[in-house]
Amino acid sequence: MAKQHVVIVGGGLAGLAAAMKLAESGIHVHLVSMVPVKRSHSVCAQGGINAVNDLTRQQGDSEWLHLDDTVYGGDFLQHQPPVKEMCDWGPKIVNLLDRLGVPFNRSPEGFRDQRRFGGTLFKRTAFAGATTGQQLLYALDEQVRRWESEGLIEKFEYWEFLDLILDGNNQCRGVVIQDMFSMEVRSLAADAVILATGGNGLIYGRSTMSMICTGGAAARAFRAGVKYANGEFVQVHPTAIPGTDKLRLMSESARGEGGRVWVPRKPQDPRDPQSIPAAERYYFLEERYPKYGNLVPRDIATREIFDVCVNQGLSAEKGHLCVYLDVTELSAEAHKKLWGILEIYEKFQGVDPRTTPMKIFPAVHYTMGGLWVDYVKKDQSGGLALDSLKNQMSNVPGVYVLGEADYQYHGANRLGANSLLSCIFAGLIVGPAVEAWLKSLPKSSASDSPASLFDNAVKPHQQRMHDLISRAGGENPYHIHNELGEWMTRNVTVVRFNKDLTATLQKIDELEERYSRVGLADKSNWTNQNFSFARALGDMILMAKVITKGALLRDECRGAHYKPEFAIKGPDADDPKKLHQQAEQWCKEFKQQTDKWLKTTIATYTSKGVEFSYEPVDTSLIPPRPRTYGLKGAEIIEKTWKEMTQGAAQKRTEPIGKPVTANA
Amino acid sequence: MSTNDHHHDGHGGNGHGHSNERMVSVRVLRQENPHSGSHWESFEVPYEHGMNITTVLLRIAANPVTTDHHETTPIAYDSCCLEEVCGACTMVINDRVRQGCSALVENLLKDSPEGITLQPMTKFPVVRDLLVNRKPMFESLKKIKAWVHVDGYYDLGGGPRISQKEQEKAYPLSCCMTCGCCVEACPQFNDHSAFIGPAAISQAVLFNAHPTAKVDRDDRLAVLSGAGGITDCGNSQNCVKVCPKGIPLTDSIAQTGRDTTIYKFRQWFGR
Ligand SMILES: Cc1cc2nc3c(=O)[nH]c(=O)nc-3n(C[C@H](O)[C@H](O)[C@H](O)COP(=O)(O)OP(=O)(O)OC[C@H]3O[C@@H](n4cnc5c(N)ncnc54)[C@H](O)[C@@H]3O)c2cc1C
Ligand code: SF4
Ligand code: SF4
Ligand code: FES
């Protein structure tokens, strides 16, 4: 029998963590990436990585509270066992990164420094300046380079993943990939394939994501039969700056270090912001959410900024929507910790944010939805059974998915600094899962499969390339992409209306039709980026449909998915008795909405098009509750909800050894 | 964002309104493949507020027509993060090596109002147009064992205690994005020399200072003492001037000079 092989597609944090973990177990890995792995999108991550630590623990924090913050932040849409396992692993993962040489910021005594992030009251976030993702990626890249020099990992950089190769039993036997220089299309046999290909922000034209974040690879796996879950959940980050090609992020860490968001109380006050006295500034997040202040979770901060600018007309500028993100009051020490992002602002805006408040506005940022993956729960702990071959495996046997490309950990809204954690966590636990899978296979390897299986998989892609390149169509792929981005950004982001979603679906159909007539300016067979982009555009159009249709079908508000037409009206009566009645009514409707919609959207690609179905969510550890974040005026909802559910809560059995702590 | 009547995402347009008809002249050195010759092509691109070089290249890709109305192909180039943190889009812009994404057209035109020239880096083989193959830089990182050799990835507790001072020394060195600016500027790094270049030297300093990675210190110093090592550096200090991350490369070079001297001494005395 030939040697078994694992192909990992994607060399961001998730893919690299998986590669090094498998190499450690002596498993041979082929690592495929469109860009040299050291340049993967993960380098962009700025703020940090979450894990309970010795300090927060003494302030009352625990892994259980990290779990609670994560599922409350995600509006309860994620299965809780994998999230629990991830939060339990948090401290171990940060320790490991520390051992790998990540230059985490230090306290004067030499311990790791911590900052606070959104959606929590604890300083749970470890960081390396304001370029944490870069530093983590480099640490893993170095480990992978070491294994590469020992012969366990072989890299295919500047190779693009095109397809999965499935045998007659629908089991994965390899991948089709293309050399982005020579344009050669070939197959790679694999007994297991791990997809760690990141998010799909480019569907929105400009976002905070990198040029390669088209989601093309996930779309190709979707076409090949992998289910796609919760596509309609797209994170719009509250604080980004404009740009002609990218909306650059100003990390939540700016607020974690004390940065404040405000607008002048007088609409478009023409004064220099520094000369506007405190009393004439509207610190709307702090006023409305006294408990969390500027660090409410992202979906809420984004909606508030949007509301202040669009509905209340308080944008700091006329004709250009923005609010101030103000770090001018912070110490030089804090400025130093934020160096990486302050430098970005200064470089691209030409203004020093240490002395002038930054102008920011929300931008598409993170893909909560993703390819569907499985997990196996361990009853004693409430977490995962880590010896199971099913963890992180998709519905296609032998295909695993990790990182931003999967849907598993962040529900309806991701908390800041939880993504780096979920990427590395999934990368580490997929090791034993893949190992178990390889052991379970009959004594043959994918490379023993008949050559025809591989040839037949490669040929259609060669043909498709030939067709697209030689087509004499008149449509310009870049223009179609711009239109797609504009429609998606206008209608499928912060505030969603069914009529707009319907119109967007029609528009996408039109773009799809035009896409079939795309003609390329570059007809060459050497390093044809024009072609590669046009091919990914087809994938983006498909996934735009999945996102928009999912949004249209989901008639409720949950996390980042907000439909005013289906928002439950908040209690507002002056009379206390009436107010209480309204709150009861609110809670009843909330309960109904939860019963109806607390489920995972599943999209399946069929010959008849995309089909939608729903799956229940495992909320066995922490029952769903209204998500108020201490909003002023919503106290009555929290109180009423507690009264109404008290009986039920007592009946709940808690996992062994984990005390239920009151929510953070 | 349907109620927004300004721009779709509040971030302003993306350049298809051409309200401002100011044009930017861009000359690009093009090369079809590694074996073909190169030639210049000129383009006129409508100016947009805040425009950078990667946007210019995107606009040309959408409308690949030269100044003299010749239909041509989009320009091949490397890019990813678009915020000067991945190192991909390094090229020679107005005769200076730097990242295209952080090169703002407005600033470039201040120094050179007649237009902008784009060329590929010269120290690496051209794949096509502005895209070069920087694989040798990654290979150098293998030679100097640029990693912390840990026992494994199981949970073995935290790393060594590290002082603020040490962190502040390590972090800047660890920001090297293998972009290649330093080697492009280095007169000693070229076809006829085996010089490993300043980026790799600086990485060796980073790992030699790490409490755990120190174990491989002698191996690193052996490489840097040998052919293509530190003695090839002519100390012209070009590298440090072009590093976009402000990495103190000449400090690393000086440090390595001292370390290799001591290392060689120890070798002579067999200890
Ligand atoms: C500006 C910014 C700041 C952020 N800050 C934080 C933060 O502070 N904390 C936090 O937790 N999260 C943060 N995030 C989110 C986090 O960075 C990402 O979710 C995470 O890095 C994704 O990692 P990944 O490994 O899943 O994929 P990526 O890093 O996106 O890597 C994807 C990989 O797949 C490869 N690939 C893709 N398609 C193909 C294909 N077709 N063929 C071959 N290879 C392919 C790419 O080459 C790449 O190697 C931030 C995100 C952004 C945009
Ligand atoms: S100092 Fe040394 S490494 Fe730097 S540019 Fe000069 S010769 Fe090259
Ligand atoms: S040292 Fe500086 S110039 Fe050289 S590769 Fe690293 S980041 Fe680029
Ligand atoms: S695209 Fe990453 S540095 Fe320019």
What are the tokens at B245? 């991350």
* Helix axis angle, B249-268 to B198-208, nearest 10°: 70
* Helix axis angle, B135-143 to A132-149, nearest 10°: 70
Q: In degrees rounded to 5, what are phi and psi of residue B77?
A: -155, 165
Residues of A (482-511) whose Cβ lies below 8 Å from B? 482, 485-486, 489-491, 493-495, 497, 500
Residues of B (195-224) whose Cβ lies below 8 Å from A? 207, 210, 212-213
Cβ–Cβ of A491/B4 closer than 8 Å? Answer: no
Q: What is the pLDDT of residues B27-72, one digit of tens each?
A: 999 999 999 999 999 999 999 999 999 999 999 999 999 999 999 9
User: What pLDDT is stored for residue A1 in this prediction?
Assistant: 58
Residues A387 and A354 in one domain: no
Q: What is the pLDDT of residues A371-424, one digit of tens each?
A: 999 999 998 899 999 999 999 999 999 999 999 999 999 999 999 999 999 999
Mind telling me how many Å the CA of A472 is from chain B's nearest CA?
15
Residues A101 and A208 in one domain: yes
Q: Does A474 touch chain B (CB under 8 A)?
A: no
Q: How many structural domains does chain A have? A: 4
* Ligand 3 centroid, distance to B80 Cα (angstroms): 17
User: What pLDDT is stored for residue A137 in this prediction?
Assistant: 98
Residues B183 and B250 in one domain: yes
Ranked by mean pLDDT, which of A652-661, B6-15, B71-80 comes out on top? B71-80
Q: Is the pLDDT of residue B165 over 70?
A: yes
Q: How many residues does the structure list for chain A?
A: 664
Going by C-alpha positions, the residue among A21, A507, A19, A50 that lies closest to residue A253 is A50
In contact, A623 and A26? CB cutoff 8 Å: no
d(CA B239, CA B60): 31
d(CA A376, CA A384): 6
Residues A292 and A341 in one domain: yes
CB atoms within 10 A of CB A582: 19
Residues A572 and A543 in one domain: no
Residues B141 and B260 in one domain: yes
- Give the three-state DSSP class for A162: strand
Residues of B (80-99) whose Cβ lies below 8 Å from A? 80-88
Q: Domain of B63?
A: 2-132
Inside any domain, residue A173: yes
**Which of left, alpha, beta for A444 (phi over 0: left; psi -120 to 50: alpha)?**
beta
User: What pLDDT is stored for residue B229 in this prediction?
Assistant: 97
| Atom from ligand 2 closest to the CA of residue B234 | 7
Order of strands, sheet of B38-46, starting from the edge strand that comes earlier in the sequence: B38-46, B23-31, B116-119, B90-93, B96-99
User: What pLDDT is stored for residue B192 in this prediction?
Assistant: 87
- Give the three-state DSSP class for A535: helix
Cβ–Cβ of B3/A310 closer than 8 Å? Answer: yes
* Residue from the list A135, A146, A242 with its beta carbon closest to the beta carbon of B147: A146
CATH code (residue A499): 1.20.58.100
Residues A528 and A629 in one domain: no
The residue type of A278 is A
In contact, A604 and A226? CB cutoff 8 Å: no
The residue type of B111 is D
The single residue listed with the structure tokens 């030499």 is A110
User: What pLDDT is stored for residue A646 in this prediction?
Assistant: 81
A298 carries an active-site annotation:
yes
Binning chain B into helix, strand and coil, the percentages to the nearest 5 are: 35, 15, 50
The single residue listed with the structure tokens 């970005």 is A344
Residue nearest to atom 21 of ligand 1 (CA): A42
- Alpha helices (H) in A74-159, listed in sequence order: 80-99, 132-149
User: What pLDDT is stored for residue A447 in this prediction?
Assistant: 87
Residues A22 and A120 in one domain: yes
* Residue from the list A21, A210, A350 with its beta carbon closest to the beta carbon of B81: A210
The residue type of A157 is E
User: What pLDDT is stored for residue A661 in this prediction?
Assistant: 37
Among A44, A251, A535, residue to substitute to test ligand 1 (most atoms within 8 Å of Cβ): A44
d(CA A72, CA A78): 10
Inside any domain, residue A504: yes
Provide the CB-side half-sphere exposure for B242 (13 A, CA): 25
CATH code (residue B218): 1.10.1060.10
DSSP code, position A238:
E
The C-alpha angle B182, B187, B189, rounded to 5 degrees, equals 70
- Give the three-state DSSP class for A33: strand
CATH code (residue A208): 3.50.50.60
| Atom from ligand 3 closest to the CA of residue B183 | 4
User: What pLDDT is stored for residue A319 in this prediction?
Assistant: 80
d(CA A211, CA B89): 11
Residues B175 and B223 in one domain: yes
A472: β partners: A519
Q: Does B61 touch chain A (CB under 8 A)?
A: yes
**Which of left, alpha, beta for A495 (phi over 0: left; psi -120 to 50: alpha)?**
beta
CATH code (residue A345): 3.90.700.10
Residues A104 and A219 in one domain: yes
Residue nearest to atom 27 of ligand 1 (CA): A198
Q: How many structural domains does chain B have? A: 2
B3 pLDDT band (50/70/90 cuts)? very low
Residues A18 and A35 in one domain: yes
Cβ–Cβ of B164/A106 closer than 8 Å? Answer: yes
DSSP code, position A151:
T
Inside any domain, residue A379: yes
Cβ–Cβ of B52/A212 closer than 8 Å? Answer: no
In contact, A75 and A559? CB cutoff 8 Å: yes
DSSP code, position A442:
-
Residues B98 and B204 in one domain: no
Q: Which residues contact B62 (CB under 8 A, 6 or more apart)?
A: A476, A478, A479
Residues A137 and A219 in one domain: yes
Q: Is B229 in the pocket of ligand 2 (CB under 6 A)?
A: no
What are the tokens at A147? 């294994």
Residues B115 and B154 in one domain: no
Inside any domain, residue A455: no
Q: What is the pLDDT of residues B143-153, one digit of tens each?
A: 999 999 999 99
Residues B145 and B100 in one domain: no
Inside any domain, residue A661: no
Q: What is the mean pLDDT of each run of 10 residues along chain A (664 residues)?
A: 89 98 97 98 96 94 97 98 98 98 94 93 94 97 98 98 96 97 98 98 96 97 98 97 91 94 96 96 96 96 95 91 96 93 92 96 97 96 96 98 98 97 98 97 86 97 96 94 97 98 98 97 96 98 98 98 95 93 95 96 96 97 95 92 76 41 34
Is the whole model's pTM more than 0.90, yes or no? yes
Provide the CB-side half-sphere exposure for A356 (13 A, CA): 11
Which one of A553, A587, A614 terminates a domain?
A: A553
Closest ligand, as measured to the CA of A409? 1
* Ligand 4 centroid, distance to B54 Cα (angstroms): 9
Over range B262-266, report the average pLDDT: 93
Q: In degrees rounded to 5, what are phi and psi of residue A281?
A: -110, 140
- Give the three-state DSSP class for A263: strand
Chain A residue closest to B172 (CA)? A103
Inside any domain, residue A395: yes
Q: Which residues contact A280 (CB under 8 A, 6 or more apart)?
A: A264, A265, A266, A269
Q: CA torsion A472→A477→A480→A481, rounded to 10°?
A: 170
Over range B225-232, report the average pLDDT: 96
Q: In degrees rounded to 5, what are phi and psi of residue B24?
A: -110, 130
B1 pLDDT band (50/70/90 cuts)? very low
A21 contact residues in B (CB cutoff 8 A)? 153
Order of strands, sheet of A29-33, starting from the edge strand that comes earlier in the sequence: A153-157, A29-33, A6-9, A192-195, A399-401
Residues B257 and B150 in one domain: yes
Among B84, B181, B189, residue to substitute to test ligand 3 (most atoms within 8 Å of Cβ): B181
Q: What is the pLDDT of residues A345-365, one digit of tens each?
A: 998 999 999 999 999 999 999
Which one of B110, B132, B154 terminates a domain?
A: B132
Inside any domain, residue A226: yes
* Residue from the list A244, A245, A529 with its beta carbon closest to the beta carbon of B74: A529
Residues B123 and B154 in one domain: no
Q: Is A46 in the pocket of ligand 1 (CB under 6 A)?
A: yes
Percentage of the residues of chain B whose pLDDT score is greater than 70: 92
Residues A149 and A182 in one domain: yes
User: What pLDDT is stored for residue A659 in this prediction?
Assistant: 38
What are the tokens at A243? 């740009």
* Residue from the list B74, B88, B212 with its beta carbon closest to the beta carbon of A521: B74
Inside any domain, residue A658: no
d(CA A146, CA A139): 11
CATH code (residue B89): 3.10.20.30
Which one of B108, B132, B156 terminates a domain?
A: B132
Residues B103 and B14 in one domain: yes
Residues B82 and B144 in one domain: no
Residues of B (239-268) whose Cβ lies below 8 Å from A? none
Residues A408 and A430 in one domain: yes
Q: Domain of A342?
A: 238-363
Residues A490 and A349 in one domain: no
Residues B163 and B112 in one domain: no
